[in-house]
Amino acid sequence: MLSKKMEEALNGQINKEMYSAYLYMSMSAHSTNVGLPGFANWFMVQYNEEMEHAMKIYDYVNDQGGKIKLKAIDEPLSTFKDAMDMFQKTLKHEQFITKSINELVDLAIKEKDHATQIFLQWFVTEQIEEEGNDNDIIAKLELAGDKGNGLFMIDKEIGARVYAPPVDEKQD
Ligand code: FEO
């Protein structure tokens, strides 16, 4: 069972994950427009992962007998200076999401909600991976340059990213 506070905070996180999906969808579209299909693919995989994050919380709230309350999704940016700008914005956004997940854990501890604490551990780990991926690509862009051949190579490399849908862990 979820407390009202916890339920509200988890609903808020669904909205943040949906916004994340929207933001990366927008970056994917922008990448297509400027002729970077690999970046477009990478951000579309990211979009799918964010939808998965939102649905994970949605399912959890339902499983706990909570009430889903969907809120309006903010409009994301639609133009970006260059690939580096997109990844710096991505990293900044993921740092914001990490902070939000940490606040949810803090609340679960305060509410003595052990189930939600355990549920959120997956997100704590996921955020390490998300920030790590962004830092890696930023480092590559710094090293190889944000234009010409270097950018072409990075576009090719990250174009190979494949979305792996989650395996249903439920045994019922
Ligand atoms: Fe769902 Fe990128 O955090």
Go through the domains of the chain in sequence order and give each one's CATH number.
4-164 (1.20.1260.10)
130 lines ligand 1 (CB under 6 A): yes
7 lines ligand 1 (CB under 6 A): no
Tell me: the pLDDT tens digits for 11-50? 999 999 999 999 999 999 999 999 999 999 999 999 999 9
- The whole-angstrom separation of Cα 143 and Cα 104 is 36
Q: Which among 107, 130, 167 is positioned nearest to 50, based on CA atoms?
A: 130
Average pLDDT (148-159) is 94
Nearest CA to ligand 1 atom 1: 50
Whether residue 121 has pLDDT greater than 70? yes
Average pLDDT (111-123) is 98
17 lines ligand 1 (CB under 6 A): yes
Q: What is the 17 CA–ligand 1 centroid distance (Å)? A: 6
Tell me: the pLDDT tens digits for 57-92? 999 999 999 999 999 999 999 999 999 999 999 999
C-alpha 139 chain-centroid distance? 20
Please state the pTM of the whole predicted model: 0.95
53 lines ligand 1 (CB under 6 A): yes
- The whole-angstrom separation of Cα 107 and Cα 146 is 41
Per-residue DSSP letters for 2-21? Answer: --HHHHHHHHHHHHHHHHHH
134 lines ligand 1 (CB under 6 A): no
Whether residue 167 has pLDDT greater than 90? no
C-alpha 156 chain-centroid distance? 22
Write down the mean pLDDT value for the chain: 96
Whether residue 170 has pLDDT greater than 70? no
Which pLDDT value is given to residue 146? Answer: 79
Whether residue 155 has pLDDT greater than 70? yes
Name residue, tokens 């809120």: 71
Tokens linked to 55 = 């649905």
Residue at 126: amino acid letter:
E
Which pLDDT value is given to residue 169? Answer: 59
